[in-house]
Structure 1
Amino acid sequence: MKRLTNKRAIVTGAAQGIGLAIARSFVAEGACVALVDINARRGHEATEELANLGAEVCFIEVDVADSKAVDAMMAEAAKRLGPPNVLVNNAGVAVFRDPLEMAVEDWRHCFTIDLDGAWHCSRAVLPHLLKHGQGDIINIASVHASQIIPKCFPYPVAKHAVVGLTRALAIEYADRGIRVNAISPGYIGTEIVENVFASASDPEKLREETNALHPVKRIGRPEEVACTAVFLASDEARFLTAQNIVIDGGRSILFHQ
């Protein structure tokens, strides 16, 4: 039997990058998956890709910052795939600003997506999980949730809060069969990161320098984050909750470079 047989998962930010890798890995392990994203074109393309492989999937367009839209999305996912028992809060945005020059709108944009979005989706899925006495919420945080990198404000503040949300919900519902965990990726070779390399004056030099920052001498791959999400959503992780698993090739452990 596949590891996620009988799992009905919702993955936000699933149109590309880590979210798409998680959706691919989930269906490969037997899950039904609702791919959720604000980008309708890419979301439909990703869903079509998985459906052509024989997966039971659907796409729902939603802005996770809109709580009413999230409620409607959750109802639609339950109608199309059955009551969800796994939620992956992956949708997010990186906002990097100078603290004193940052507009209020930038602060709000960061938090309404990175934190409020995770809460809106969690609040909407919890009644389904509680009704069946089991389920998993997996929040995609970041190494920014534990290690501060200059010139990245206020993104680390939001990601610290995502880990706080993870721990608080985990303890609140631990005795009711609900597990809540976080994954904190470091440098991962998503399309966004590849675009950063490509935009550099010397792309290969930047790539080599970035690889060299890591004890394993490379950056991570989206599917490596997805493997951890599969584990957390599976019955193999029954005694694991309120945790934040860092996936960064050992980078954040270094004291001095």
Structure 2
Amino acid sequence: MAEAVNPGRLHGKVALVTGSTLGIGKAIARRFVAEGARVILNSHRDDADAAAIRAELGEALSLFVAADIADAAAVHAMVAQGLARFGRLDVLVNNAGMDVFADPLQLTPEQWQRCFAVDLEGAWNCCRAVLPAMLANGAGSIVNIASVHGHKIIPGCFPYPVAKHALIGLTRSLGIEYAARGVRVNSISPGLIRSERVEAWLAALPAAERQRQIELLPCKRIGEPEELAYAALFLASDEARFINASDLLVDGGRSQLYHE
């Protein structure tokens, strides 16, 4: 007897992954397509990175839409375009975000506003845009990419942790609000992951400090984007159907250390 072919853990599902042309978002989009999903790709700009992932995944399985998630109208238009193309929307991964690190008393109003517009309101814009389709279908999974900054405070990183704490709060609140209507909302809090941004930061450090950052991690290595992608896959899939309003730490145990 021929062995049954596994259609994939997201077979037949459609997912919107924001910030999916680089780093963690790109790894999630790749994994979702490999597991049978069709994916709406997103970035705030249509550039060479967008063209590369679009070509890699192919037009049959993906749709790229350039939209700034801080722009609610652009987000609603993106979701409408995805629904018109694929006919449904089962999964949202709110991955797009930005780092804003500043001295609290030197932080400009523009920096504060942009941080929250992207890292918190952007996620809410996307949730608000996809929820009607999910609720009409009686099912859906939203995965917000938060951060270890939403659990522990690192000096010199204000106001980013404020936004990430709020994003975890948004996750829990929406998860409870829509639990009885079939929509789950969870978050993932990554630690140090080898994205392009982290690679650039590490490259700018002296060799000794670069090694120290690695040694701070209990597993003595930096996480890979693909490891985040598998966590997102699990939460997005029906395997996690009884997991809701929860946050999953994916940081190699770093945030559990009492001291350095």
Q: Tell me the secondary structure at the aligned position of residue 36 of structure 2.
A: coil
Q: Could you tell me how far apart the structure 1 residues matched to 2:45 and 2:199 are?
A: 19
Q: Tell me the secondary structure at the aligned position of residue 40 of structure 1.
A: coil
Which of these residues, 247, 251, 254, is aligned with residue 254 of structure 2? 251
Which of these residues, 155, 160, 165, is aligned with residue 160 of structure 1? 165
Q: Could you tell me how far apart the structure 2 residues matched to 1:191 and 1:132 are?
A: 37
Q: Could you tell me how far apart the structure 2 residues matched to 1:4 and 1:205 are?
A: 43
Letter in 1 for 2:11: T
Aligned-residue offset at 1:67: 0.4
The number of residues matched between the two structures is: 253
- Displacement over 3 Å in runs of 4+: none
1:136 corresponds to: 141
Q: Tell me the secondary structure at the aligned position of residue 213 of structure 2.
A: helix
1:28 corresponds to: 34
Which of these residues, 204, 217, 225, is aligned with residue 222 of structure 1? 225
Which of these residues, 38, 54, 57, is aligned with residue 47 of structure 1? 54
Q: Could you tell me how far apart the structure 2 residues matched to 1:152 and 1:80 are?
A: 40
**What pairs up with 1:143-182 in 2 under 5 angstroms?**
143-182=148-187
2:119 corresponds to: 114
1:15 corresponds to: 21
Aligned-residue offset at 1:207: 2.9
Aligned-residue offset at 1:206: 3.1
Q: Give CA-to-partner distance per residue, 1:114-171, whole Å, 9 cap, x none.
A: 0000000000000000000000000000000010000000000000000000000000
Which of these residues, 216, 220, 225, is aligned with residue 213 of structure 1? 216
Q: Tell me the secondary structure at the aligned position of residue 178 of structure 2.
A: helix
Q: TM-score, normalised by structure 2?
A: 0.95
- Are 1:210 and 1:218, in contact at CA under 8 Å, matched by a contact in 2? no
- Are 1:27 and 1:55, in contact at CA under 8 Å, matched by a contact in 2? no
Q: Could you tell me how far apart the structure 2 residues matched to 1:206 and 1:16 are?
A: 25
Aligned-residue offset at 1:82: 2.1
**What pairs up with 1:229-248 in 2 under 5 angstroms?**
229-248=232-251
Unaligned runs of 5+ in 1: none
Q: Could you tell me how far apart the structure 1 residues matched to 2:18 and 2:190 are?
A: 16
Q: Tell me the secondary structure at the aligned position of residue 139 of structure 1.
A: strand
Q: Could you tell me how far apart the structure 2 residues matched to 1:206 and 1:117 are?
A: 34
Q: Give CA-to-partner distance per residue, 1:24-47, whole Å, 9 cap, x none.
A: 000010000000111211222211
Unaligned runs of 5+ in 2: 1-6
Q: TM-score, normalised by structure 1?
A: 0.96
Cα root mean square deviation, aligned? 1.0
2:89 corresponds to: 84
Q: 1:22 to 1:55 in 2, by over 3 A?
A: farther
Q: Give CA-to-partner distance per residue, 1:220-254, whole Å, 9 cap, x none.
A: 00000000000011110010000000000000000
Q: Could you tell me how far apart the structure 2 residues matched to 1:206 and 1:24 are?
A: 32
Aligned-residue offset at 1:17: 0.4
